[in-house]
A and B are shown apart, each in its own frame.
Chain A
């Protein structure tokens, strides 16, 4: 049976579309309304409220908590200050990515880690001989993401503290209309936004408080379809869609290193010891084989493919998640894994893995497009990720 999240009673009442999907064994809304369109726009213009409770969450406590996490992830956890949040991947012994998520330093010896896949066993295996306690709080901790230009104004209505000082990738403890929470300035939309972590018991109370406080600011409960478009615009990857966890890969070529996923910046080789270090140190000597890039499909090329058949261009209304070949120089240069039409940018965009020699910004490639049952190729250009990066995200 699928589980429901602590917010489900409210969400079920609002989910007019009856469009549900699974996330980590939970049932979550794909969209609330018949189309996800308004939910998507709310992310960029007002504020969208997402239930992100299905994330896996672990609290790591003890004298060696920092040491354990520093040993597991690629970034330097020991230097994280209290209240700092790190986005980071973690790897297997051969330097291939297992998962990506966040590590938040709640106190000197207390951390919360979030992951897309279950990670308790991996943490425990790496904790041998360390003085730590690892607790799986996935079910007992509920979480909401409030994302969009008015996220701060709404939260400030109900918060007992000043949010103006809360910087990007920092967190603080607070009470929201009396409900104890931690608020992190994080998110998966590439916009101004916050994630709110709380005891599941207070979930509905907090939901109601936010909906009430946000009414004048256009707060909009939003589902996964809207989130998917926003995260592609933000150039953010998704496990099982854009990469395969080394834990699940059946063959070697399915695995990726952080360098191949554009996460080289998270690999801190100054650290003496962490899982996968020697393989990553070796790989850092060379150009990675693959790069993870943004692609912008050329509109005239796309329009031309349809015009040949007397059709107007047909564009996907929602983001797609599948492997789509990309070509350059007469060979298959790589493949796109997520894409869609950005209503904001008026661009057809995709996230793609390209062999490094084709991955420089500005390189012209082609992407496969099925037009009236036939496989065609549309011109595309390698562009920087993120596609959309408003100043308010960090400002």
Chain B
């Protein structure tokens, strides 16, 4: 008897849903099993406090692939991405730096700090645009394994080599620098304005236990320029209704093609028979057969918990054990009775509608990292904040606001471990830091939700609370993600696939892993 499902997707995070939607669209019978009571994984919206809706975990849409939006017809299912207009960096001396989307406005503001930087900015933007263009084809690519002699990999490597040669030597050298340098060193080549360098370098450290002076962080600077290549200027934005609406739109698309989605369904293990996956066993003992199993869970949970070491080669088990998570960030969500008034720009206005970054200098960020390196949360952390209710009235009651604060560093391995008291102390450090720049914020807080890496792990099942299902560091990217020889969305187990951010190209609400995995599965003549 043939099993009822062509594929079971373990985990209804956005990548799992994307994968399920593509499989269902291709006519496959798909079942998604989500452990929580709602789909979305880290991309969920919840009414944490009556009348206030939060993107509880992930809070911006970074590089959600436009082809996914089109192919899955997500706008028809309610998805609307609102652009982030600007980035405000308040400074302790009462001044500030705001980066604007508008060219003239941005130039004028930068020139206030440094005429040289204002000019360099243009050239930097052009260069990064070119580099992002060079790297972009890699994102949509199933990574070839350079050590393999399989014709598929040889062809892939040849294509990759041809692409890199096509860049020309100057750009290739630049790419090598970006791959190896620290973001602080790379930006030092371009700029002198501290808040500019610090705010830009912050994108290189997100989700990683590394500081702006750690080598290998420069590469992520490119991410900010990727979106433009798709003609989707302002690729960074808020989803209307919060990030949960991204997941809900994808789920609705998947259902429209017949995919089944079950929530409150915890998979205990993947059933492996004779070296192939043929179904799953739920926590309550229910067994569900399927022709193949696709895991959206991270590599550690997938292989070490759900599959089990006994089914896997020892070397592979060792590689997965070595795969680094090291969650380094937390989240504070605030319900506010009034808007924060920043000392630098006390009146309301456009600067509040974009991102607000507490990153006054590279040294500030590096010091924040130093504490984390030795097992403490940063007493003065890097904060990346947004106030979605300013653009989307559905997030808070009229006149009230929600503020989403991404915090780094909050190391998973905190000295003495995370406790309720430590969580609140961490929340206090965040609010105190913010209040140094916007003193009214303490009295404006109606409700506070503090989330540590330990909470992320417990609630979402993300190992060590890493938001990217594993650090986006060079040694675990591309054909090394999550480990050599399993980077093609396949695994050592036949008919078991991976579709999460623990595969290439990795984290962010991007959906690329889910789509690539679906293509790999369908390409097999599934």
Contacts and interface: CB of A to CB of B under 8 A. Distances in A.
Interface of A: 33-35, 37-38, 41, 44-46, 150, 153, 215-218, 299, 312-315, 317, 341, 343-347, 388
Contact of A217 (B67, B240, B393): B393
Interface string B123-152: 000000100010000000000000000000
B101 A216 contact: no
Interface of B: 66-67, 69-70, 75, 80-83, 85, 101-102, 104-105, 129, 133, 228-234, 240, 350, 353, 390-393, 397-399
Contacts of B105: 34
A315 B231 contact: yes
Enumerate the 5 nearest inter-chain pairs by beta-carbon distance, A residue then B residue, closest first: A216-B398, A315-B231, A216-B399, A346-B66, A313-B231
B231 A314 contact: yes
Given A45-B82, A218-B393, A299 B240 contact: no
Given A45-B392, A46-B393, A35 B102 contact: yes
Q: Which of B69, B80, B350, B397 has the most chain A CB atoms inside 10 A of its CB?
A: B80
Given A315-B231, A346-B70, 8 more contacts: A37-B83, A41-B82, A45-B240, A150-B393, A216-B398, A312-B129, A312-B229, A317-B233
Interface of A is mostly: loop
B82 A312 contact: no
Contacts of B75: 344-346, 388
Given A38-B85, A216-B393, A218-B393, A341 B398 contact: no
Given A150-B393, A217-B393, A341-B231, A45 B80 contact: yes
B399 A218 contact: no
Q: Which of B75, B101, B104, B234 has the most chain A CB atoms inside 10 A of its CB?
A: B75
Contacts of B397: 216
A346 B80 contact: no
Contact of A37 (B129, B232, B234): B234
A301 to B, nearest CB: 13
A324 to B, nearest CB: 18
A46 B391 contact: yes
Contacts of A314: 231
A150 B81 CA distance: 17
Nearest to A47: B393
A312 B231 contact: yes
Contacts of A341: 231
B102 A299 contact: no
A218 B66 contact: no
Q: Which of B102, B104, B129, B397 has the most chain A CB atoms inside 10 A of its CB?
A: B102
A344 to B, nearest CB: 5
Nearest to B225: A312
A37 B232 CA distance: 12
A218 B390 contact: yes
A35 B232 CA distance: 15
A346 B81 CA distance: 10
A313 B129 CA distance: 12
Contacts of A46: 391-393
Contacts of B233: 317
Contacts of A215: 398-399
B488 to A, nearest CB: 23
Q: Which of A46, A216, A346 has the most chain B CB atoms inside 10 A of its CB?
A: A346
A33 B391 CA distance: 15
Contacts of B399: 215-216
Contacts of B398: 215-217
A347 B70 CA distance: 7
Contact of B391 (A218, A315, A343, A346): A218
Contacts of A388: 75
A339 to B, nearest CB: 14
B518 to A, nearest CB: 18
A150 B391 CA distance: 12
Contact of A299 (B66, B228, B350): B66
A313 B231 CA distance: 6
Given A45-B80, A215-B399, A218-B390, A312 B70 contact: no
B74 to A, nearest CB: 9
Contacts of A34: 102, 104-105
Nearest to B136: A312
B164 to A, nearest CB: 15
